[in-house]
Structure 1
Amino acid sequence: MDAQDLVALIAARVATVPRLMVGIAGPPGAGKSTLAESLCTRLNADLATTPAAIVPMDGFHFDDAVLEARGHRPRKGAPHTFDVAGFHHLLTRLRGNEPEVALPVFDRSQELARAGARIVTPAQRILLVEGNYLLLKQDPWAKLKPLFDLTVFLPVPIGELERRHIQRWLGYGFTPEAAETKARSNDIPNAELVVRDSAPADFNLIY
């Protein structure tokens, strides 16, 4: 399946349900956010009467102060550094089609989540939920999958993910050695976990 096929599938399925929740999962660095933004733009252009919105998992990062207190700051981005219960509650509210639901959004420039940074209304009948661990089989993450009407996984070879993460840290001014250490100490273990322990998605998409 490619992105064009996915747009067509979403357009067909949303006609049959009050709200369609699409889970876009994959390892860190696979391109989930980029895909979600591209899909949202395309869907909002093609289906003007059925608006789409993005629901990012990253808004549920624990704050650095919490991670520091727990000794988890070096592993920020790993499954145990997210408020999974809060995220599950948000998705449950979105399935309930409440009049208005506020979402937290992660601000990468400040490395923190901003509460109430985005609003979802009933008019937005297509929700593109994106995150690393949406299909993880470990509890409590395993409770998320039943909340999605459609799931998509972005498979990317570990070698390519390692290259992308090292390049990312180089872009932040790290030396080549430090960038490689940074990627291999956290990013790549997280990616390997997602690839190894995610439940099968309805579709795989190369993006």
Structure 2
Amino acid sequence: MDQRARPAALASPYHRFSRSEWAALAADAPLTLTADDLARLRSTNDPISLEDVAAIYLPLSRLLSLYVGATQGLYKATRSFLGADDGKTPFIIGVAGSVSAGKSTLSRVMQALLSRWPNTPKVDLVTTDGFLYPNAVLEREDLMGKKGFPESYDSAALLRFLSDVKAGERHVEAPVYSHVVYDILPGASVKVDRPDILIVEGLNVLLPSRPAKDGRAAPFVSDFFDFSVYLHASERDLEDWFVARFMHLRQTSFREPQSYFIKYADLNDSEAEAAARDIWTRINLRNLRENILPTKPRANLVLTKGASHRIEEVELRKL
């Protein structure tokens, strides 16, 4: 028998909760969303229910309301110490996870819930899709096959945007991306004007920056976050959800004349499924393994979904 001492296992940096344990933390917080609200907020093929909102998102909104209140107090104390009045400092939440994980639904539901808390009436939401390079640039740089990978984003523009928002600048603009035309919309923008909370949703928002060529430290997108959420699911489930969404869109938005994906609209079922699984394997799965999943341990909160999209486990980083 090998008598050499084995290294002690590292303690988990997370508190782990079952679905029922987490649901109990909502305490007496009222559920302010209706079924009609949820129907408007959910993404295509996302079966989220009001029970899911009550069990998972309501406790999370309560926790974040407490975090925001504490952070606002800290900012106020700092301004008092400095004898400065430099305006509002927004609380920024990052939401990360794979394609088809449900980030958009999570972000919109949290935006709706948080805006109903008394200390955070103004909650804005921006997706990093708007900071993708235009297709013309991606084609020139031979990056269309890596759309969604870190190198396909204008990271400098995203960092400037977050820096301006965090500094309390007025009317900060972000570009707008269309999933129908699969490109940035020229001249379109969304304006962020000193919100109480800004939610930033994207695939790679927790990814550390690559070292600059001159050796100087480069800021991370997540440097601007006060809290971050990673939405996790198995590769098999993510692929199945992606294919199901693709098959649905084939009957809807893919048929719009301006759709980038119109070439898939008239495929038969087997051809469409094969095309979806090919896209998943060549692009999304590779991006998940290389760039997205490795950032999961950097999140403050991890929500793990089962095959039915139901969140089964919650992990909250210990303070």
TM-score higher than 0.5: yes
TM value normalised by structure 1 = 0.90
Is the contact made by 1:60 and 1:104 (CA closer than 8 Å) also made in structure 2? yes
Q: Provide the secondary structure at the position in 2 that maps to 1:45.
A: coil
Deviation at 1:57, TM superposition (A): 0.7
List aligned pairs for 1:110-121, cutoff 5 A.
110-114=181-185, 115-121=187-193
Is the contact made by 2:111 and 2:199 (CA closer than 8 Å) also made in structure 1? yes
Higher relative contact order (CA 8 A, sep 6+): 1
Partners of 2:66 and 2:96 lie apart in 1 by 21
Partners of 1:118 and 1:138 lie apart in 2 by 25
Q: Does residue 1:185 correspond to 2:282, yes or no? A: yes
2:247 corresponds to: 170
Deviations 1:2-40 (A, max 9, x none): 322220122112223242111111112111111111111
What amino acid sits opposite 1:86 in the alignment?
Answer: A
Q: Which runs of 5+ in 1 are unaligned?
A: none
2:59 corresponds to: 5
Q: Provide the aligned C-alpha RMSD in A.
A: 2.1
Q: Which runs of 5+ in 2 are unaligned?
A: 1-21, 23-55, 73-88, 212-217, 251-264, 305-310, 312-319
Q: Does residue 1:31 correspond to 2:102, yes or no? A: yes
Comparing 110-119 and 80-89, the one that deviates more: 110-119
Deviation at 1:138, TM superposition (A): 4.8
Q: Provide the secondary structure at the position in 1 that maps to 2:184.
A: strand
Q: Does residue 1:152 correspond to 2:152, yes or no? A: no
Q: 1:12 to 1:80 in 2, by over 3 A?
A: same
Q: 1:165 to 1:49 in 2, by over 3 A?
A: closer
Q: Does residue 1:161 correspond to 2:238, yes or no? A: yes
What amino acid sits opposite 2:92 in the alignment?
Answer: M
Structure number, greater radius of gyration? 2
2:299 corresponds to: 201
What amino acid sits opposite 2:302 in the alignment?
Answer: N
Is the contact made by 2:95 and 2:199 (CA closer than 8 Å) also made in structure 1? yes
2:116 corresponds to: 45
Q: Provide the secondary structure at the position in 1 that maps to 2:232.
A: coil
Q: Provide the secondary structure at the position in 1 that maps to 2:115.
A: helix
Partners of 1:138 and 1:110 lie apart in 2 by 29
Is the contact made by 2:207 and 2:220 (CA closer than 8 Å) also made in structure 1? no
Q: Provide the secondary structure at the position in 2 that maps to 1:47.
A: coil
Is the contact made by 2:229 and 2:303 (CA closer than 8 Å) also made in structure 1? yes
Q: Provide the secondary structure at the position in 2 that maps to 1:77.
A: coil
